[in-house]
Each structure stands twice: as C-alpha cells, then as structure tokens.
C-alpha cells in the first residue's frame, strides 16, 4: 500500500497554529509571559505583576480569551478576578473600597404566599396544612412543634 502525499487536512506536526485576531495589548502581555517562561526556574510561580496585568486585560477582553492567549489556567485567572474588588468609573483606581454587608428588607409580597405543607415522620404520623398569607418563621415554628411532639 503506497502512502499518499495528498494533504488531508490538519497541519504538519510541529507547525505552529495560526494566532487568531488578538488585540495588541493582549499580544504585548503574551510576550511578557513568554519571556518569563523562558527565563523562569522550573515550576516557578507566575509573578504578581503578570497576574495583575492579566486580571486587568481579562476585565476588558474576557476571562476565556485572556487565559487562552496568555496560556494560563482559566480557573486560576477567574479566581484572581473574583478576588479583585470592582472599581467603578467614579472611583479612581487604588481607592476601591471592599463591599460591606447590606441587609435588604424582604419584599412586601414575601409573606403573602400560598402553599400546602405536608410533614411525615418515620412512624407514619402525618400533618398536612394549607397555608395562605404566612411568613417563613411561622413555617419553622410549625415544623418544630410537629417534630417535637413525637419525642
């Protein structure tokens, strides 16, 4: 059987893949990552300056695109993005304040629902109640009293 010399798709082994349309800023950062990879110690950590630059570009170009262009782990980049406080247009960079806990009141309709609650224990005791216009604390109290009456 003779080997065919006809191209059948794909690329010859060792050929570099074409780079898709990568923005210039992302391309420059990719160059910085590649220089670091050539000069790093084996299994060395990526310097914080490169991670910071990657997080900034990911905010502009997207996490997947940035991770792919820089050849970094998507989830490692995503974790760093999530750990970075968001900076709004009204706040100058470096002055971002971490979010504080903000308790919101329940909506007015939260206690006006309607449902049927069915409880059954291991012994076969059953409780079925149709509730209308109640609050969640009422449900908790009802369940506690049912389960405690069996003991």
Q: Where are the domains of the chain?
A: 24-82, 108-149
Local confidence band at 109 (pLDDT 50, 70, 90 cut-offs): low
Q: Is 29 exposed, middle or buried (0-12, 13-18, 19+ CB in 10 A)?
A: buried
Q: How far is CA 13 from the centre of its chain?
A: 36
**pLDDT by residue (tens digit) across 70-104?**
999 999 999 999 886 655 444 455 444 555 666 76
Q: Whole-prediction pTM value?
A: 0.45
As to burial, measured by CB atoms within 10 angstroms (0-12 exposed, 13-18 middle, 19+ buried), residue 32 is middle
In tens, the pLDDT along 28-68 reads 999 999 999 999 888 888 999 999 999 999 999 999 999 99
């Amino acid at each position: 059987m003779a080997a065919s010399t006809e191209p059948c798709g794909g690329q010859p082994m060792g050929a570099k893949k074409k780079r898709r349309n990568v923005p210039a800023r992302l391309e420059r950062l990719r160059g910085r990552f590649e220089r670091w990879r050539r000069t790093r110690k084996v299994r060395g950590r990526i310097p914080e300056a490169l991670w910071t630059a990657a997080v900034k570009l990911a905010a502009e170009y997207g996490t997947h695109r940035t991770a792919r262009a820089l050849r970094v782990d998507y989830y490692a980049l995503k974790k760093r993005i999530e750990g970075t406080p968001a900076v709004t247009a009204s706040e100058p960079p470096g002055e971002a304040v971490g979010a504080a806990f903000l308790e919101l009141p329940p909506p007015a309709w939260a206690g006006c629902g309607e449902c049927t609650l069915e409880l059954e224990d291991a012994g076969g005791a059953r409780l079925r109640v149709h509730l209308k216009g109640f609050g969640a604390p009422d449900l908790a109290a009802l369940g506690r009293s049912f389960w405690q009456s069996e003991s």
